[in-house]
Amino acid sequence: MFSKQIFAAVLLFVSQTFALHFYLKTNEVRCFFEELPEETLVAGRIDAYEFNDHTNSYVKNSNLYLQITIEETFDNNHKVADQKSSPTGQFIFTSIDSGEHKFCLTPVYNDGTTNKAHRIFFDIALGSSHDYADSKSTKKVDALTERVHGLNKKLEEIHWEQELMREREAVFRDMSESTNSRVIKWTIIQLFVLVGTCFYQLRHLKSFFVKQKIV
């Protein structure tokens, strides 16, 4: 349970993650290579299944486990980790030096079963080990959880401020549209008044010229 908490804590501050999905036979080895910086915290999670011929599907088997080895290829394949994992398990280690690391997985059985097909999910999260110098303490996990809650609260505040800004923008937009509409109406009224005034003056002048027998 505690390893799951640590794995979850690593995911909060990961700089890189990758997930793999592949198939292997019993005792077959599959290796992957990853360039790791110095003092990088690596948290891995494994989920392995065996193929059941009767149900024609992949199922869990408590006798199945995965042999996990991690080697530094830049240092004559120096082995930095060698452990057995249950079908659903995790592992954590910190890279001491920067360079290429080789991750190898082999499905094997406690009871010596062979010639089985397996489907394996392999997830890895990478983060700085400085953030987890005290990761073995439950207080550190609690502090990280509290920090996440704090970030969520800040996101909620930002969301509320954005909603308030949208409301203000909507009010300002409505006021602008209302003002523009009044300006257009007033301009049209002024235009009609001006045209009417011109028409009246022209008729008045025409009447005056007729009376004066100029026209």
- As a whole number, the mean pLDDT across the chain is 80
Could you give all domains of the chain from N- to C-terminal order, each with its CATH number?
A: 2-132 (2.60.120.380)
For CA atoms 162, 167, 172, 176, give the dihedral sign.
positive
Percentage of residues in the chain with pLDDT exceeding 90? 22
pTM for the predicted model, two decimal places: 0.54
Average pLDDT over residues 4-12: 48
In eight-state DSSP terms, residue 73 is G
- The more confidently predicted of residues 184 and 214 is 184
pLDDT grade, residue 36 (50/70/90)?
Answer: confident
Average pLDDT over residues 16-36: 86
| CB contact burial 54-80 (16+ within 10 A = b; e otherwise) | eeeebeebeebbbebbbbbeeeeeeeb
167: its two tokens: 């409301």
Read off the pLDDT of residues 132-189 as tens digits, 9 standing for 90 and up: 444 444 555 566 667 777 777 777 778 778 888 888 888 888 888 888 888 888 888 8
Task: Check whether 12 has a pLDDT greater than 50.
Answer: no
Task: Check whether 14 has a pLDDT greater than 60.
Answer: no
Average pLDDT over residues 5-32: 71
In eight-state DSSP terms, residue 127 is E
The 8 Å CB, 24+ separation contacts for 180-185 are none
User: Lowest-confidence range among 9-23, 87-101, 162-176?
Assistant: 9-23
